[in-house]
Structure 1
Amino acid sequence: MLDAMPDAVLFSDKAGIITRTNAAVDKLFGYDSAELIGSSVNMLMPQALSSRHDRFIENYLKTGSGRIIGRGRAVEGVRRNGDAFPLHVSLGHITHDGEDHFVAIMHDFSARVAAEAALSRTARLDAIGQMTAGIGHNFNNILTVVIGNLELLEAQLSNPAQHAMLADAREAATIGMDLTAGLGAFGRKSNARCDVIDINAACSAALELIKHTFDPQYVILMELTDNLPAALADSTHLQSALINIALNARDAMPDGGTLITRSEVVTVDDHYIAQELDIEEGTYVRISVTDTGCGMGPDTQQHVFEPFFTTKPVGQGTGLGLATVYGFVRQCGGHVTIYSEIGHGTTVALYFPAIDEIPTEKPLHNKRESREAAGQRTILIVEDNPRVRSVTSDRLRDLGYDVRVAGQGDHAARMLRENADVHAVFTDLVMPGELDGLALARLIEATYPHIRILLTSGYAEDILSREIDDIPHQILRKPYRQSELAEALLELFDLPGSAQGVTSQVKE
């Protein structure tokens, strides 16, 4: 009968030693009954509760008063693997042959607690939704007054410069109205309005607002590719995202710096890059925002898109900015990546699915031509990220090159001192150790002039070009396609099929 009961039933003596259990106890806690019989019941409780339990039983046996005997209460149990879980216990006391015995009837409260937590979250989100909808309504009323007065003021101004400033203010207020409408949408649990938009137009509108917000110590550059295909995005959210990213960049450049916004078409038709970006293959419009700020380390990059994560002092950041950027881009079927190096700056890239069909570029090479061109050439890969190092090795071997690898510039320098019989060094620019990629490239240029140099980085290549203009170089920007890697190597060795006479080139 005990084993037929769905609830766990356990007997113990007055010392808390388990004397009998049913099958449900074994299932609930993960023990075999043989392991439990003769052991202390405290093994099924967290340590803090077990000490209280002993005092409670001792007091009950002395005084006859207890708060749990004959009734139930919610406590915490501990399974055999150490996991704690919510548990409901009803405890009874019996005396048999002059001995005190206790019986506990227990059942797992995990499902109930999870359901209550879900209901609590739903109620809290509903309350937040109602609150934000109300806030949005009130702000829309205020912004309506602002926009109305700006329009009235516009008719009274004759100075073109004043008209331009007024137009910026009106545009910002309109974006504010759309964003507060988004607060109401949050209350109704609706998604971003992803439509077919002109990415360059949205970028230009955002950049105009950014230019008037930044001090003269900041250089704002915009490099937009002409004739971009239309993309699936939300224009208001995109402008807000770019402004948000730009303001974060400004905080990372307290003494001034450069901010570059670039738009371009990216075709993800290579399984390597698809894995790196965590997106489906296809054609995307990519918007990259690069700053020359302090940068961030790998640990920060792992958490930067999490809600409420911020590195700013208390009161200066909510941690919601990049989280909302990530959320809306993903809603539109895109993806967000971040590349940053401490001391060199940060690049945030937004990928939006392209809608218009665009002509597919003719392949720069085919695999047979690449393998024939590779010949018996050996390339030394210098990359501190083990995953990138492994993928790059596979790529180069697939193209027919012999490969050597080094995890840091210092290691690569030692390898070259021992054996400089390599034809090229393919190195990341920013790495730990005494020799980063730039220092390694200068060492190779001075000591091993026969070795060609191919550089790679996820950082803005136009800024990098100014740092390395004293050495012959090519830069392959991360992430890159297999065809781009192959073409860069063909050009590096001036092999057939490459662009001849190129001594310094940036590969997009």
Structure 2
Amino acid sequence: MALLDKLPIRWSLIPAIAAIGAILLVLSGLGIAIYDEQNYRAQKIREATAQGEILAATVTAALAFDDRPAAQEYVEALRVNPQVVSAGVYNDAGVLVAGYARDSGGQADASVKLQPPAFVGRHLVVVTPVSEAGQHLGLVALRIDTDPITRRLSRYVGLGLLLFMALLVVGVLAAAHAVLTRTNSDLADANRNLQEEMHERERAETALRQSQRMEAMGQLTGGVAHDFNNILMIACSGLDLMERTDKPERRKMLIDGMRQAVDRGASLTRQLLAFSRRTSLRPEVIDLNAQLEGMRLLLDRSLGEDISVVVDLPADLWRVQVDPSEFELAILNLAVNARDAMPGGGTITISGHNRSAGADEAVPVDHVVLGITDTGAGMAPETLSRVFEPFFTTKAVGKGTGLGLSQVYGFSRASGGDVRIESTVGLGSTIFLLLPRTEDPLPVSAPDLSPVSRAPGGQGDLLLVEDDDGVANLVCGMLVELGYNVSRVDCAAAAITALEANPGFDIVFSDLVMPGEMDGIALARVIGRRWPSLPVLLTTGFSPGVAAAAEEGLTLLTKPYGIGALAAALDSARPG
């Protein structure tokens, strides 16, 4: 009886309890929606900021050297990310240098200013500064697509339905609880899917291969600058001493020393151009012993005096066919990683051996195994399992991009081989490059031609097109020694004027990069149309037009060159 007396009281409290419960549910739902929206925005800002910082680090060198084509390549690489609506690289004045927009009718903003990340409509705009050694170089801006607000609000349709029913029907509280549970499960699934998409995008960003070379170039900068200062010191002191001596043997010794210094500088420059991908590269047969021996100077310059490099390769190591610059970049990346694992100094050992077909399932052909071993700290298993992932790094911010080992992995697989790693904490690491053997012969080196004795004026009339007075004076001296009558102009327009006045020149020798509207290739095209029988020889120290010159079938002489190479190139360019 007492229980029945209490039942009316309990039923009378149910509407109030339901109302309170509904209010609590409404407040909870609003709190969840606000928290999830804030969390979504914060997560989106973190993702976009990280992408902006990666792009800023990538275009540092391009902005520093005003290399707009390279900057355009970097922003075009963002096509792999479907959420990037537009991207722009801006100079220190905030003016657009290179841009990309996914919508064919759109474009990147013409100018930007540094500002915090901001949501504009359904887009997130992130502006990141680009700086090097404390110097402001410019900005990069990304416009990232976000989910429409209607799509995000749709996640709460189930919760809204639950709240509406709770306000109207007290008897469906249990069913409403089931709907809420199911909604929370859907939100958890959506969050897991979002995390998986983020990891997929990170793996897709391996297309930013140029960042790998820029990281290696950064490792080289200090050592190469030191070495070039030594080369300049040899040349400067040699010239001073030559002015103070008349002894032939003394002058010959000084000349030999300066020539060796120049040859060493030219070798360094060729390798730097290869690393920066401004020369035409293709796989070729190489001798690993000779290739690694040729890298010793670069390794010594970039690793530091507290790191010793031991190369222990058998003389009968098989030949392989790889891209030489990619191979040297892979070795350099491995050596730099080994150096960073030995902050107190240590030894890097490069060893190798031949392995016959069938000894390894991953490379079912005869192959060479190169091992790069350090005496550093080693890696834990959880680090070891991720070392080849793009952008994964254990280094401090600013010390590495996490692209070095991913380049090594990509190089080995693209060469038909594989890469392995063994590491023990406290005992160091060894990375093995497996490269397939080739039976093709080594390319034949061009002979080192010495200048022949030529009678003055016996080679004909030559038009020299060179804008640098210092270079022109020395080249004129070499040409006169080779027997040419030399006329010199400083640009392509002046060269055409000279040819119109005197079409009797026997050959034109022109620099590839010159001031004015026409470069060397454009000049060669004009000469080919108007004076088709007149041969043209081009020369350059560095230019993106090297590949274009090759496509045109033009003879090209690379700076620096000696009088022997100049004589051979002129003879090759002239018919008969």
TM over 0.5: no
Normalized per residue, which structure has more helix?
A: 2
- What TM-score results when the alignment is normalised by the length of structure 1? 0.40
- What TM-score results when the alignment is normalised by the length of structure 2? 0.36
